[in-house]
Amino acid sequence: MVKPNLKVKIGGLELRNPVIVASGTFGSGEEYKDLLDLDKIGAIVTKSITLRPREGNPPPRVIETPSGMLNSIGLQNDGIDAFIKDKITFLNKIKTAVIVSIAAHNIDDYAEIAGKLDKIRRVDAIEINISCPNVKGGLEFAREPGSAAAVVAKVRAVSRKPLITKLSPNVKDITEIAMAAEDAGSDAVSLVNTFAGMAIDISAKRSVLGNVVGGLSGPAIKPIALRMVWETAKKVKIPVIGMGGIMGYEDALEFIIAGAAAVEIGTVNFVNPRAATDIIGGIEKYMRQEKIKNIKELTGCLRT
Ligand SMILES: Cc1cc2nc3c(=O)[nH]c(=O)nc-3n(C[C@H](O)[C@H](O)[C@H](O)COP(=O)(O)O)c2cc1C
């Protein structure tokens, strides 16, 4: 059988395969350069950047939970100008698509960051993170269709790049937010970000995380994330990028069958730094076994 075609399109951006490494779990790519072949990954989403540098939340910021992890990093980053100055040179050396994740506390800041990125050729797309659960006010834009749409529209007005809006699961109805992002000009939606959670040290009677609340990720969230992706894919016409607890190629395939055009993998990168290439290999093997020539045949093929 000929090599299966794994290419997918997200807006105007073509990816060599549907496996993307998720924001905040892969640095800006360079950190992983000796651990796997970056050019084999579908795309890299860089750690969310803000307009100005941020120190993030007080420690402890990461703890393990049964079947997952809680983090409250709080968007620690050096700011957009340092990102452009320090990270683009390395990213220019790799062939993989680069998606830059942006975050902000107000709409003007989102637009200012996106405006700066619009001039950088190496930036293939922007992921608008409106959904960070462990930053004060970080969720405001993801909660209501109106505010989500306002961010997307403002970024759309200053950017020619494909836009992916990253949605929060900590909402009443994620499909409403997805439809609002689509109407406002987003080229795709990605879901989900982490679920707001906490852990308590019973002897100290204190929260384990310095920030009290953090975001839950990993296998524990997979069934809920999968359901949300399935519901959302039925409601929007733009591509849905699914994520939440993907640890192996079988998990990735579940998201694709549920309707995801591509997947992002996060927590697994900390467990197995080569997870992205392992998952790509697994999907390819499955397609050969099932005699599926094109990955698009799988997207949304769920029988109900
Ligand atoms: C340590 C850590 C840091 C993260 N930082 C970001 C971030 O900066 N921006 C963002 O959009 N998502 C961030 N996320 C969320 C992930 O990109 C992903 O949406 C989430 O972890 C669910 O996928 P997973 O279960 O495969 O990890 C972070 C997750 C973790 C575990």
- Decide if 141 is inside a domain: yes
- Decide if 88 is inside a domain: yes
**Selected catalytic residue, list 22, 84, 132, 247:** 132
The pLDDT, as a whole number, for residue 131 is 86
Best residue among 217, 255, 270, 271 to mutate for probing ligand 1, ranked by most atoms within 8 Å of CB = 217
The pLDDT, as a whole number, for residue 246 is 98
Best residue among 63, 80, 193 to mutate for probing ligand 1, ranked by most atoms within 8 Å of CB = 193
Is 301 catalytic? The answer is no
- Decide if 65 is inside a domain: no
Provide the CATH number for the domain around residue 165: 3.20.20.70
- Decide if 119 is inside a domain: yes
pTM: 0.97
Tell me the per-residue pLDDT of 139-189, one tens digit each, with 9 for 90 and over: 679 899 999 999 999 999 999 999 999 999 999 999 999 999 999 999 999
Looking from the CA of residue 217, the nearest atom of ligand 1 is 25
- Decide if 209 is inside a domain: no
The pLDDT, as a whole number, for residue 27 is 95
- Decide if 134 is inside a domain: yes
Q: 56: buried, middle or exposed (CB in 10 Å: 19+, 13-18, 0-12)?
A: middle
The finding on whether 96 has its CB within 6 A of some atom of ligand 1 is: no
- Point out the residues of the chain with pLDDT beneath 50: none
The finding on whether 49 has its CB within 6 A of some atom of ligand 1 is: no
The pLDDT, as a whole number, for residue 134 is 64
- Decide if 69 is inside a domain: no
Domains held by the chain: number: 1
Q: What is the domain extent for residue 50?
A: 8-56+74-197+218-297
- Decide if 203 is inside a domain: no
